Amino acid sequence: MKLFLSGATGLVGRSILPILKKNHPERAIVALVRRESQASALNAQGVETVIGDLKQPRLGLSESAYADLRGSVTEILHSAASVEFDLPLEESREINVGGAQRMLELARSCPRLRKFGHVSTTYVNGFREGVYDEAPMAPGQQFCNAYQQSKFEAECLVEQAMRALPAAIYRVPALLADSEDGVVSQWGYIHHLFRMLPVTELPVMPGDPDIPVDLMPADWVAAALAHIFDFRFTSGSYRHLCLGPDGTMPLQEFISHACGIIESHPTYPAGKSVRVPKMVSVAEYDEFVKNCPDRVQRFSAAMVGRHVRLMGTRQVYLNTKTRADLEDSGLRFPVLRKFLEKTLVYCLDNSWGRQAAS
């Protein structure tokens, strides 16, 4: 058995690698990395590496390295991507769509291939309201950013490839922390939003108090993904590695809980309450941005609106099949309330990444 893994140095990849090794100790793992230093670190952990780039033809590999993979690879797990929201669409496409295309090209040329796993996101649906099953996503949605659009387009490629390849798609929601104990190593937009919550002067935000908030820690996603890929792989399947309707929290309750955690942290002025902007519909928010007289506030409101309009968009991701696949895994679904608390305390203790970085 030989597994070819992309994204091994990323948030999900770092967590999944030891689990994949434990699941099948006899299986060789070859990771696609971009730098020599990453290769050395992985080699020291017993992982083979090839240095390349998703953006290059033949994944940037030499003819002989590529031919070696073609002859020996039995499984491919494609986790690498650009998760940046603000890249121009063409740049996102180059990595996320072009990368998927090149990983599929390799897959098609591997005669011994038994499975191809593609890591995607629940946000491929853009901001279209609905209840979504673990199934192909229909086109026609509007996207918040180039990341969502490029990940949707990548899914379409994998979906087409499913006709001839044993492939599966694993959708992941936003990752709030590395682990259930709240440690954060990758500071992203979501942490920035929490940081802004107690200081924003915006009077309104797009939000529906009842929409379900579905976030996960990376270690749980990695463990679930590894279990399903290794022991429950089903060709042509889709899985939602999210909390699902049984584990989400309504937005209003989620924000109140977050405010309570911030207010009780020693860095927050004693006795002061966090002022939360009033939640309004996406249409009302857009109207506010359009008519906002202050140029700076208008710019900041537009930026907020671009990324958080999902908080005003009712979407439910079902995970019945994922739950069934995980029944014998011993893995318990995280409790959002608890890991939100641990994560926020970690963020506040570490000055939202500034302390962790220094």
Ligand X SMILES: NC(=O)c1ccc[n+]([C@@H]2O[C@H](COP(=O)([O-])OP(=O)(O)OC[C@H]3O[C@@H](n4cnc5c(N)ncnc54)[C@H](OP(=O)(O)O)[C@@H]3O)[C@@H](O)[C@H]2O)c1
Among 121, 237, 248, 315, binds ligand X (CB under 6 A): 121
Among 186, 300, 329, 350, binds ligand X (CB under 6 A): 186
| Per CB under 6 A, 172 contacts ligand X | yes
Alpha-carbon span 140 to 129, nearest angstrom: 12
| Per CB under 6 A, 11 contacts ligand X | yes
| Per CB under 6 A, 9 contacts ligand X | yes
Among 30, 39, 42, 54, binds ligand X (CB under 6 A): 54
**Residue among 95 and 304 whose Cβ is closer to ligand X:** 95
Among 55, 128, 195, 298, binds ligand X (CB under 6 A): 55
| Per CB under 6 A, 83 contacts ligand X | yes
DSSP state of 316: E
Bridge partners, 212 (sequence order) = 250
| Per CB under 6 A, 81 contacts ligand X | yes
Among 3, 4, 5, 12, binds ligand X (CB under 6 A): 12
Q: Which two tokens stand for residue 229?
A: 């890929």
CB-based contacts of 5, cutoff 8 Å, min separation 6: 13, 16, 17, 20, 29, 30, 31, 32, 76, 77, 79
Q: Which two tokens stand for residue 36?
A: 């020599």
**Beta carbons of 171 and 228 less than 8 angstroms apart:** no
| Per CB under 6 A, 119 contacts ligand X | yes
**Residue among 92 and 200 whose Cβ is closer to ligand X:** 92
Among 7, 198, 247, 277, binds ligand X (CB under 6 A): 7
Query: Taking CA 135 as the corner, what is the angle to CA 239 and CA 114, rounded to the nearest 5 degrees?
Result: 60
Alpha-carbon span 279 to 207, nearest angstrom: 5
Among 2, 102, 115, 151, binds ligand X (CB under 6 A): 151
**Beta carbons of 159 and 169 less than 8 angstroms apart:** yes
The residue type at 1: M
Bridge partners, 29 (sequence order) = 3
Bridge partners, 147 (sequence order) = none
Q: 57: how many CB neighbours lie within 10 A of its CB? A: 11
CB of 160 to ligand X, least distance (A): 18
**Residue among 6 and 322 whose Cβ is closer to ligand X:** 6
CB of 264 to ligand X, least distance (A): 27
**Beta carbons of 315 and 129 less than 8 angstroms apart:** yes
Residue nearest to ligand X (CB): 10
| Per CB under 6 A, 95 contacts ligand X | yes
| Per CB under 6 A, 222 contacts ligand X | no
CB of 299 to ligand X, least distance (A): 25
Q: Which two tokens stand for residue 29?
A: 């793992």
CB of 253 to ligand X, least distance (A): 22
| Per CB under 6 A, 82 contacts ligand X | yes
Alpha-carbon span 292 to 203, nearest angstrom: 11
| Per CB under 6 A, 242 contacts ligand X | no
Alpha helices (H) in 24-161, listed in sequence order: 36-44, 63-72, 89-92, 98-108, 146-161
* Number of shown-chain residues binding ligand X (CB under 6 A): 25
**Beta carbons of 180 and 331 less than 8 angstroms apart:** no
Q: Which residue has the tokens 């049984």?
A: 246
| Per CB under 6 A, 309 contacts ligand X | no
**Beta carbons of 147 and 196 less than 8 angstroms apart:** no
**Residue among 94 and 286 whose Cβ is closer to ligand X:** 94
**Residue among 59 and 280 whose Cβ is closer to ligand X:** 59
Which x/- pattern over 19-48 shows residues binding ligand X (rule: CB under 6 A)? -------------x-x--------------
| Per CB under 6 A, 226 contacts ligand X | no
What residue ranges bind ligand X (CB under 6 A)? 6-7, 9-13, 32, 34, 53-55, 79-83, 95, 119, 121, 151, 172, 174-175, 186
